[in-house]
């Protein structure tokens, strides 16, 4: 440690030290002469203005008498006051001063050795903190943890981004202070309470983080340093600078951010948003570096990618080494099949064959056929050798609901019985299932896009941009105004609905499927992709899928995706099959079970009800 510059020992940002001292350090090649201003505490006298010492492009100081929660900002020579690029808390919003956060005061016990449930056996429940409960806070989520664990039966919650964003209403992908926790949700203490409570309930916590862009409002990073580069362009303008001058500092910015969530907040895993939009021509991709850093401290990484490229999950150095990836193809194929929609990206999917293809090999678009949505270009690569448990699959998530014109859900589009058969396909699939909040009772509340930008011009641009982005889907009706409070309010879940029909029956169906997934060896563990057999009848829109465990237990699911009664001869795997579950059972809100209690292998005549699934064991 340098005797005259002790702050060089510590990382960038504000780091509390023993004896009520704090190290402040900032990368600021564009701000020579930058100073630190520590604001007075309540009832205090005046601010303290402190000269920062330079060391190359980094400036810093160790300051006495600084407590947890003290507010500060950096002052430019021209008088501009800006939050810390690595602010841990923004108590007055994205434009206000930063606040010191002492992680030792968050009340965590020593870190766990690792997630209680292996990543491959998780059932993930994605939620938006602001609309999951009327409270719209981390504490509101805590109140629902017993429901998620005991009544429903998931193993992990995935929080949409909680990094500080402008206003109080936002999906979270407009975050601008990546190290700070949204104050309206409960700030750092609220997030810490939620993580502790989830772990006590036996639930893992996954956090959605965004490293492909930052939001426009409150984004002051350019004032300090080249966090962005004109070398690459993205849908949001200049790319985050991962491979241009100054890139090492930017790469450490996101790597340290990822480590903060896992190491300091004890979050189990991260979901990396849209890694296909991260442009990095370095010898080692930044996603690979993030994944390695997170895994080194006991966390896991799930990448969202529409590239259909195994590179995301292949081991390093050939791949990026993520633990899993969001795979859209099963969703797209199922959605096109049960809704009949063929616009936008759904035009690339057609029929039961694509559902079967996604179940067996992960990707439908694997470079072997053109993507008409992409202008006829061949898209993707084969997922050969990628285990099924590396694919996170769903019938709904925030994108697939919220990126519709009105945020309508699949139950409203295709009907509840069609939702049930699609849900069974996902929950019996070799992949890692993900449910989107409220899906499990066919919630009627939409999930439209919402914001609360303070800049009227920006608000108008967001609204018009979304209309242009989804024009190819030809959806009818006006897009709800993202800035209107009523748009946000329409998305708040009504948990009481799950206690009345038809929602009660849908919830019972999901609970039964999740219980089966927990208990049946064929649906758990590794090597799931190698223990699956399928057969389809495209004319009848029907499919059967067999799953089996290494210990010999077998499961057979017969799916009817047709909207009409189907009569056909089916050649079933050889066994004596006993009925386990029928989606049309009255306890699931159906018209009544018609499934044979027993089926024998071989050619069997079957009469399949519209939109139903029968599950048998042997």
Q: Name the residues annotated as catalytic.
A: 273, 304
Cα–Cα distance between 565 and 609 in angstroms, integer?
A: 5
Residue 426 is encoded by which pair of tokens?
A: 């996902």
| Helix 187-200 vs helix 138-146: crossing angle, to nearest 10 | 10
* Cα-based torsion angle of the residue sequence 390, 403, 148, 202 in order, rounded to the nearest 10 degrees: 40
Token digits of residue 544: 């059967």
Nearest residue to 603 (alpha-carbon basis) of 561, 544, 562, 559? 544
Task: Please check whether residue 580 is in contact with residue 388, taking contact to mean a CB–CB distance below 8 angstroms.
Answer: no
- For residue 533, CA distances in Å to 273, 539, 598 come to 32, 20, 20
Measured between alpha carbons, how far is 479 from 476 in angstroms, rounded to an integer? 9
Angle at alpha carbon of residue 428, lines to 423 and 434, rounded to 5°: 55
Q: Which two tokens stand for residue 179?
A: 């190290």
Which conformational region is residue 579 in: left (phi greater than 0), alpha (psi within -120 to 50 degrees), or beta? beta
Number of H helices, E strands in the chain: 14, 29
Q: Does the CA dihedral 485-487-490-491 come out positive or negative?
A: negative
**Residue 200 CB contacts under 8 Å (≥ 6 apart), including other chains:** none
Longest CA pairwise span in the chain (Å): 87
Q: Where are the beta strands (DSSP E) in 481-565?
A: 532-537, 542-548, 554-560
Let me know: does 280 contact 242? Beta carbons within 8 Å: yes
Look up residue 388 and give its DSSP letter: G
Distance of CA 294 to the CA centre of its chain: 16
Tallying the residues shown for the chain, one arrives at 618
Q: Where are the alpha helices (DSSP H) in 65-146?
A: 129-132, 138-146
Dihedral sign, Cα of residue 462, residue 468, residue 470, residue 476: positive
Cα atoms in the Cβ-side hemisphere of radius 13 Å centred on 28: 28
Cα–Cα distance for residue pair 86/96, rounded to 1 Å: 14
Segment (H or E) for 38? strand 35-38
Indicate if the alpha-carbon torsion angle 479, 485, 486, 489 is positive or negative.
positive
In terms of Cβ atoms closer than 10 Å to its own Cβ (0-12, 13-18, 19+), residue 556 is buried
Distances (CA, A) of 155 to 118, 126, 128, 199, 424: 10, 11, 17, 10, 18
Tokens of 219: 């984004």
């Amino acid at each position: 440690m340098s005797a005259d510059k002790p702050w060089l020992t510590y990382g960038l940002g504000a780091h509390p030290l023993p004896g009520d001292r704090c190290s402040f350090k900032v990368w600021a090649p564009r701000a020579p002469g930058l100073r630190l201003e520590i604001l007075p505490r309540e009832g205090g006298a005046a601010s303290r203005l402190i000269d920062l010492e330079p060391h190359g492009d980094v400036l810093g100081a160790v300051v006495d008498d600084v407590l947890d929660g003290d507010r500060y900002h950096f002052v430019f020579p021209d008088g501009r006051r800006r939050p810390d690029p690595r602010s841990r808390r923004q108590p007055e919003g994205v434009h206000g001063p930063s606040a010191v956060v002492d992680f030792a005061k968050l009340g965590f016990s020593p870190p766990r050795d690792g997630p209680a449930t292996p990543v491959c056996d998780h059932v993930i429940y994605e939620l938006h903190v602001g609309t999951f409960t009327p409270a719209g806070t981390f504490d509101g989520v805590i109140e629902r943890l017993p429901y998620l664990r005991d009544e429903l039966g998931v193993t992990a919650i995935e929080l949409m981004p909680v990094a500080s964003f402008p206003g109080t209403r936002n999906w979270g992908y407009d975050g601008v202070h990546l190290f700070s926790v949204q104050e309206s949700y409960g700030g750092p203490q609220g997030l810490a309470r939620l993580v502790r409570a989830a772990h006590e309930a036996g639930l893992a916590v996954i956090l959605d983080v965004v490293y492909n862009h930052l939001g426009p409002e409150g984004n002051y990073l350019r004032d300090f340093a080249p966090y962005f580069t004109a070398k690459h362009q993205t849908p949001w303008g200049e790319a985050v600078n991962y491979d241009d001058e100054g890139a090492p500092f930017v790469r450490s910015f996101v790597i340290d951010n990822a480590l903060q969530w896992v190491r300091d907040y004890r979050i189990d895993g991260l979901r990396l948003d849209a890694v296909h939009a991260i442009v990095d021509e370095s010898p080692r991709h930044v996603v690979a570096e993030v994944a390695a850093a997170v895994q080194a401290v006991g966390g896991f990484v799930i990448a969202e990618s529409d590239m259909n490229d195994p590179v995301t999950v292949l081991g390093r150095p050939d791949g990026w080494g993520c633990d899993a990836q969001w795979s859209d193809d099963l969703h797209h194929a199922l959605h096109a099949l049960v809704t009949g929609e063929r616009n936008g990206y759904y035009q690339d999917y057609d029929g039961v064959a694509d559902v079967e293809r996604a179940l067996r090999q992960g990707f439908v678009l694997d470079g072997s056929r053109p993507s008409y949505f992409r202008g006829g270009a061949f898209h993707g690569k084969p997922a050969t050798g990628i285990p099924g448990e590396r694919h996170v699959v769903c019938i709904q998530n925030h994108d697939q609901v919220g990126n519709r014109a009105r945020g309508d859900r699949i139950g409203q589009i295709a009907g509840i019985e069609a939702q049930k058969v699609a849900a069974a396909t996902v929950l019996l699939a070799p992949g890692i299932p993900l449910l989107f909040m409220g899906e499990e009772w066919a919630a009627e509340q939409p999930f439209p896009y919402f914001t609360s930008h303070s800049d009227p011009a920006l608000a108008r641009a967001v609204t018009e941009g979304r209309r242009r982005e989804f024009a190819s889907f030809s959806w009818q009706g006006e897009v709800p105004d993202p800035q209107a409070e009523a748009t946000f309010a329409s998305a708040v879940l009504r948990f009481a609905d799950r206690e009345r029909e038809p929602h009660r029956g849908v919830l019972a169906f999901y609970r039964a499927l999740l219980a089966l997934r927990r208990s049946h060896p064929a649906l758990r563990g590794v090597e799931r992709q190698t223990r699956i057999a399928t057969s389809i009848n495209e004319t009848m829109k029907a499919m059967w899928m067999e799953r089996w465990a290494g210990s010999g237990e077998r499961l057979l699911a017969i799916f009817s995706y047709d909207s009409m009664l189907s009569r056909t001869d089916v050649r079933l795997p050889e066994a004596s099959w006993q009925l386990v579950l029928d989606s049309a059972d009255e306890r699931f809100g159906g018209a009544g079970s018609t499934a044979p209690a027993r089926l024998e292998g071989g050619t069997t005549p079957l009469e399949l009800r519209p939109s139903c699934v029968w599950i048998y064991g042997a």
